[in-house]
Amino acid sequence: MNTDRLGFYRVGFKKFSNKTLALIESNRTGYEVEWLFNNEIYSGIDWTVPIETPLFEIYKQRAQQLRNNYDYLMLYYSGGADSSTILRTFVENNIFLDEIVMQLPETVRQSFDPNDTSEGNFYAELEYSAVPYLNKIRNKLHPNTLIRYQDFSKPGLELLKQEDWLDTVPLCTNITLSGVFRQIAQNSDHHILNLYDTGKSIAQILGIDKPLVYFDGTDYYSYFMDTSTYHYVSPVDFNDSELSKGKYATEFFYWTPDMPEIVVKQAQDIKRNCELNPWAKFMASEILVRHISEYRPVLHPVIYPSDVTVEFQTEKPSSKIVRAMDRWFWETASTQVQGNYLAAIDYIKQKTNSKHMVKGDISNGIAGHKTTFYKL
């Protein structure tokens, strides 16, 4: 699989799959960082021409496209509206999905609290939102669909025992602990490695995020942002691993050059809603300065089925280096492991320009890069 289709960075004449190395190169050479996301595909589309096919029909076509292209389909499921809509699309259209995976650090399962909606209880969304939705559709799920948890804490802790871990696992936009751990989880997952040994072509399917629509007071534009793309599971195989050389691929369900009509149609429907809903129009005018989470209540009713509801939702995680959802790490990891993580973050800080950090401080995370804007 050509991972360029998942987006890449360009600094001068050099191309990078991950952002931290791109930022280091930018700081070294003075060239600015660009993020390119299938520009040749999306710029070749006239976004002003209405797509008449209903959005849910396009979702169905995308699910079938993935089924036709791979031997084994693995959906990374969080219980949120993005991944629940993907799951619903497969189930309602009788398109077989081989596996549903839920990621978490195993140790936190014993501390889930149904009354706690703070970020510190973030992984409880799996227990109180993802699992209930799976139970709701269980009679429609194919009996051969595997449902499992993937514990990313053990391989992550093993990685951070190495002082030079950053040399083998350069990071992208999400430099938080869970961002690092999710990035490498597949490479040590025995289930995935055994599947890989069968020679099957495997796709891990990610929902990532909603389309971004901006209203400048006169016209509407859509665009892509790297922090929306890589916030959940880092999709690029950074390691020189066996998985990255074979038939194991990351597939974005919505943001894909294989069916660009999805995002175009979503954006067009959002624009239409903004024209009818003053609050939605206001939020579209504010999207460049507000967090995407504030925009979700406006987006969900437009682009997702009404029966996809999130039963339990906590505060959205920040991009900060030290955050409540990773409390398990700071409470249980050894001083050495914690130090190796913080030393790598400090190295990135020393080698990059603070203008690329949220509020100029790496402790707040890496700031986003946008693509070109496409007029609707």
Q: Tens of pLDDT along 215-263?
A: 999 999 999 999 888 866 665 544 445 555 558 888 999 999 999 999 9
Residue 179 sits in a domain of what CATH number? 3.40.50
d(CA 376, CA 347): 42
pLDDT per position as a tens digit, 281-301:
999 999 988 877 777 788 888
Q: What is the mean pLDDT of residues 91-98?
A: 97
Whether 347 maps to a domain, the answer reads yes
Task: Give whole-number Cα distances, 332 to 81, 152, 157, 256, 324, in Å.
Answer: 32, 15, 10, 39, 14
pLDDT interval class at 9 (50, 70, 90): very high
List the domain range (segments joined by +) for residue 60. 51-375
Q: Is-contact 212 225, C-beta < 8 A? A: yes
16 within domain boundaries: no
CB atoms within 10 A of CB 91: 19
Percent of the residues in the chain that have a pLDDT greater than 70, as a whole number: 94
**pTM for the structure as a whole:** 0.93
Q: Is residue 9 in a domain?
A: no
Alpha-carbon distance 187 to 240, whole Å?
10
Q: Which of 180, 201, 216, 213 is nearest to 338 (CA)?
A: 180
Do residues 160 and 340 touch, judged by C-beta distance below 8 A? yes
- Pairing of the two strands 374-375 and 220-223: antiparallel
Q: In the predicted model, what is the mean pLDDT of residues 67-75?
A: 96
pLDDT digits (tens, 9 = 90+) for 140-196: 999 999 999 999 999 999 999 999 999 988 898 999 999 899 888 888 888 988 888
Residues 336-355: pLDDT tens digits?
A: 999 999 999 999 999 999 99
Span 48-64, pLDDT tens digits? 999 999 999 999 999 99
In a domain, 40, yes or no: no
The conformation of residue 352, written as its DSSP 8-state character, comes to: S
Is 56 within a domain?
yes
Q: Is residue 194 part of a domain?
A: yes
Q: Looking at the domain assignment, is residue 20 inside a domain?
A: no
Is 322 within the bounds of a domain? yes
Q: How many domains are there within the chain?
A: 1
Q: What angle do CA 154, 159, 163 make, to 5 degrees?
A: 145
Residue 359 Cα distances to 114, 151, 266, 355, angstroms: 33, 32, 31, 8
Structure tokens at 271: 């624009």
Question: Tokens in use for 277?
Answer: 């809903």
Amino acid in the structure at residue 44: G
